[in-house]
Amino acid sequence: MRVYFSEDHRRHFPQAELYGGQFVTPFERPSRAEYVLHRLKDRGLTDIHAPGAPDRAAIAAMYDAGYLTFLETAWDQWKKAGYAGEIIAACFPARRMHDTRPPRNIDGQVGYYALASETAITGGTWDAALSSAASAQAATAHVLSGARAAFALCRPPGHHATADMYGGYCFLNNAALAAEQMRAGGAARVAILDIDFHHGNGTQDIFYDRGDVFFASLHGAPEDAFPYFLGFADETGKGAGEGANANYPMLPGTAYDLWSQALDDAIARIRAFGAEALVVSLGVDAYMRDPISFFRLDSPDFLDAGRRIAKLGLPTVFCMEGGYAIEEVGVNTVNVLEGFEAG
């Protein structure tokens, strides 16, 4: 399986994350990608390529123009305003506040475009986000050229990013870009399967009223897990998208027997949808020792999950999402890919 990976991911490395009332080293850090890359090479998956330049026109077509301008200019605006630290949201347009107009002040803009305050922006964030999107686009182009599958080792991840908001460590939604590229490349119907522990709220938001992209997400119940305010089972799409959204929220302590039943149901729904191509949001934070999750999957379970996904027989792009048990993230990620290859 070909892998696309950009060294520019290192340009995004905030020094602090607000967690449990303290500033800690971010759980989403450059070493995550390095562990995955090391494991890929250890297992002989050495067909690794730099992605090249991103397709900015495709990004512009999906995203709010003001949001893209914000991401590109936020750091310069922040420094010009005299702030010394990294960009962290401090205020938000809360319920019943008029939130349709972005403020002129950069501090207000940050709150307007952020959906959570754990995600900081640094001087290299925009370049890293572009390189992550480029990896997804390159992997998709490779599959569109006839390959069975490709893996985009995306960092930062993407599935929490909407068309006009960032958060959950995500800035550009790589899986959504890949799905849209599949559609443009000739697939009449595309499915996105999100196996990250956290609900792919951004992906759902982007495609919720569309009937040509089916979205399925296996995740911690939103009553108990980030992003909290989306991901309920009764969210099934709207308008043309009614029935093209399937959420599988699960409770703390969920182990592979129950999780795999949800996976099988999602696979059956994707097959019934008539998908011609598949994008997998490959998060491995359902792992039992992940520090910010509460499922109980073990490393061999990810091998089996890959085998089950392969049974769909679809051209498949894997986009890296979460997984924060740093020393095991490489093993668990590559297990999914090797299971898929063997399936």
Residues classed as catalytic? 160
Task: State how far the alpha carbon of 79 is from the alpha carbons of 10, 14, 120, 196, in Å.
Answer: 21, 15, 14, 34
How many Å apart are CA 248 and CA 204, to the nearest integer?
Answer: 13
Helices (H) and strands (E) counted in the chain, each on its own, are 10, 10
Residue type, 159: H
Q: Do residues 219 and 178 lie in contact, with contact meaning Cβ atoms separated by under 8 Å?
A: no
Q: Judge residue 163's burial from the number of C-beta atoms within 10 Å of its C-beta, 0-12 exposed, 13-18 middle, 19 or more buried.
A: middle
How many Å apart are CA 326 and CA 278, to the nearest integer?
Answer: 27
The three-state secondary structure class of 112 is helix
Calculate the dihedral angle through the C-alpha atoms of 59, 61, 63, 68, rounding to the nearest 10 degrees: 60
The alpha carbon of 4 is separated from its chain's Cα centroid by a whole number of angstroms, namely: 16
Using only C-alpha atoms, the chain has a radius of gyration, in whole angstroms, of: 19
Strands (E), the chain: 2-4, 17-19, 22-24, 48-49, 149-152, 190-194, 213-220, 245-250, 277-282, 316-320
Q: Do residues 198 and 227 lie in contact, with contact meaning Cβ atoms separated by under 8 Å?
A: yes
> What number of residues does the chain have?
343
Give 151-188 as a DSSP string: EE--SS--TT--SS-BBTTBSS-HHHHHHHHHHHTT-S
- Give the tokens for residue 55: 């397709």
